Chain A
Amino acid sequence: MHIKKGIGDWVFDIFNLILMVFLMIITLYPFLHVFFASISDPAAVVQHRGLLLKPIGFTTGAYKLVFKNPMIPIGYKNTLIYVTVGTAINIFLTTLGAYGLSRKNVYFKNHIMFLITFTMFFSGGLIPTYLLVKNLGMADTRWALLIPNAISAYNLIIMRTSFEGIPVSLEESAKLDGANDFTVLFKIILPLSMPVVAVMILFYGVNHWNSWFNAMIYLRDRSLFPLQLVLRGILISNSTEAMTAGATTGADIEQVGETVKYATIIVATVPILFVYPFLQKYFVKGVMIGAIKE
């Protein structure tokens, strides 16, 4: 069915097109600006007024300084540990929970489900959790970033919903053949649930990648710091100091400091930008699964 477009439709379409292009520009420009500035001559960047539409001069000095900072590789290494080990723990426990709570005829299922969903809406708060983690002797160890957030109730519910959608007949015939629940879970349910497992890996993985707050409150030992906490030191703490102290002291150091910041941002985001196009569809799928749950 095709309807002839009126003047109003044309006006709307053009307006919409311009708006969308504008939206893309303001989304992308900040990254371009950071990139151009990171390879520009530091003194010229500070002098420059207005938008930066191409690099001014060319130097990789800022990147050399970034890679000289020993905390960057340490942060990367730690983040890699937290992402892989943390996500493995997340997936293991979430799968166990989702399987048990998706089975029929389990007497305490609803009790346990209530126990879990209640925590989504009410919690003891930051301080009691902090004291608990300290009392358990996890403070200043890697465990503090791996165990206290081992399961997300939201993700568990998504996974449970997905497990519930698998036909019961598969499980029943396997049980007739003498399979127990571990066999059913690992041999039948999980192989059929790889898409949702992929989504869970991404959700949990990105969370570990982005997380810095827990590291800040629990870790003192700098050799355990994840990348984001290292970045916070470079991008946030320094900049606020410089701002409040005033821009009069050590102008040269500050100029280099600016481009080093830009280079740090690029070094910290490039890995994500590379995998992003491949991961995007899984993320979108994950949001959809979450939506169906409602």
Chain B
Amino acid sequence: MTDLTNRETIEINVPNISKWEIIRKDVARNKYIYLMLLPVVAYYVIFHYVPLYGAQIAFRNFSPSKGIWGSKWVGFKYFEQFFDSYYFGRLLRNTVLISLYDLIFGFPAPIILALLLNEIKNDIFKRTVQTVTYLPHFISLVVVCGMILDFCSRDGLINNILNYFGIESIPFMIQPQWFRTIYVASNIWQGIGWGSIIYLAALSNIDPQLYEAATIDGAGRFKQALHVTLPGILPTIVIMLILRIGQLLNVGSEKILLLYNPSTYETADVISTFVYRKGILEASYSYSTAVGLFNSLINFALLIVANYVSRQLTETSLW
């Protein structure tokens, strides 16, 4: 053995030994902490990382009897099958459009409500409005969707009102063109009050001196709202927006599953509901996993882009 190799092993091993030493001492000192973290880490490994590992069945011709390793590797076959299928365009369009409408109309609604609530000087009235508008958040999704289906049915409440004004009944839940409107509007109905809490919290943190200074400078209420209030809650708005964009393709599949039916698939069927039908109902495991993986990847990419853009523009970011 030459001198040279000897020195090499020493140079590589010395930091390693001390690192292991640090870890050994750390584990000895924090043994109870690691004992506590053990079930938590085990939970995450089993229920989050094993499925992540299992997602490779998207690239295999998976059958449950053969297991993951026994199933043949097929590469991007299922992805190609999905991209070439009739459903790809429809699902992508529906997913993006429902998300986008929900973002455009649903995202500003709680901000506007918070700003309007902020202008109410009577505390009791303000708190009453808050209590009432938070309420729908606590009603379970199944019940809310049950109410939507009932109110929008051919002889339901909404058509009753329309008839009263001399308008013909519209079968809302079986005409595809109404689905997105109903979805977005009911989301706002259920979430506007609850969503405003976080902005009201941000509003209460704005320094009152800023308002005093603005008043001395002759700013009226509208100008104060524009130049003091809005900039004050902007970081909160940006963070909420990034999180929202990261979820852009994660349309609430549970709500759609409760509201749609075959006659509205044309506008209502999104990627996640399609994954449910293909995977759980039809047991096309590999194909549906590939579709789901595609969805996850797009979401992840959108989150990274949104975070990057926001960091460049506003210096607010998740990481």
Interface string of B276-319 (1 = CB under 8 A from A): 10011000010011001101100110010000000000000000
Q: Give the bracket for the number of chain A residues in contact with chain B.
A: 35 or more
Min Cβ gap A73→B in Å is 17
Query: Which residue of B119, B143, B161, B189 contacts A231 across the interface (Cβ within 8 Å)?
Result: B143
Residues of B within 8 A of A48 (CB): 160
Residues of A within 8 A of B104 (CB): none
**Of B8-16, B94-102, B129-137, which stretch is located at the interface?**
B129-137
Query: Which residue of A23, A235, A272, A291 contacts B145 across the interface (Cβ within 8 Å)?
Result: A235
Query: Which residue of A27, A49, A131, A212 contacts B133 across the interface (Cβ within 8 Å)?
Result: A27
Assembled-state Cα–Cα distance A234/B150 (Å):
12
Residues of B within 8 A of A287 (CB): 194, 197-198, 201
Min Cβ gap B33→A in Å is 5
B53, B139, B192, B285: most-surrounded residue (chain A CB, <10 A): B139
Query: Which residue of B142, B155, B303 contacts A121 across the interface (Cβ within 8 Å)?
Result: B303
Min Cβ gap A187→B in Å is 13
Assembled-state Cα–Cα distance A268/B141 (Å):
12
Query: Which residue of B49, B113, B116, B155 contacts A46 across the interface (Cβ within 8 Å)?
Result: B155
User: What are 5 A-to-B residue pairs whose CB atoms are below 8 Å?
Assistant: A16-B116, A19-B116, A20-B120, A121-B246, A291-B202
Residues of A within 8 A of B51 (CB): 123-125, 128-129, 132
- Chain B residues proximal to chain A, CB less than 8 Å: 22-23, 26-27, 29-30, 32-34, 36-37, 39-41, 43-44, 46-55, 57, 64, 113, 116-117, 119-120, 125, 128-129, 131-136, 138-143, 145-147, 149-151, 153-155, 157, 160-161, 163-164, 171, 173-174, 189, 192-194, 197-198, 201-202, 212, 215, 220-222, 235-236, 239, 246, 254, 257-258, 261-263, 272, 275-276, 279-280, 285, 288-289, 292-293, 295-296, 299-300, 303
Query: Which residue of A46, A50, A150, A294 contacts B161 across the interface (Cβ within 8 Å)?
Result: A50
Nearest-CB residue, chain A, relative to B216: A1
B39 near A106 with CB under 8 A, answer no
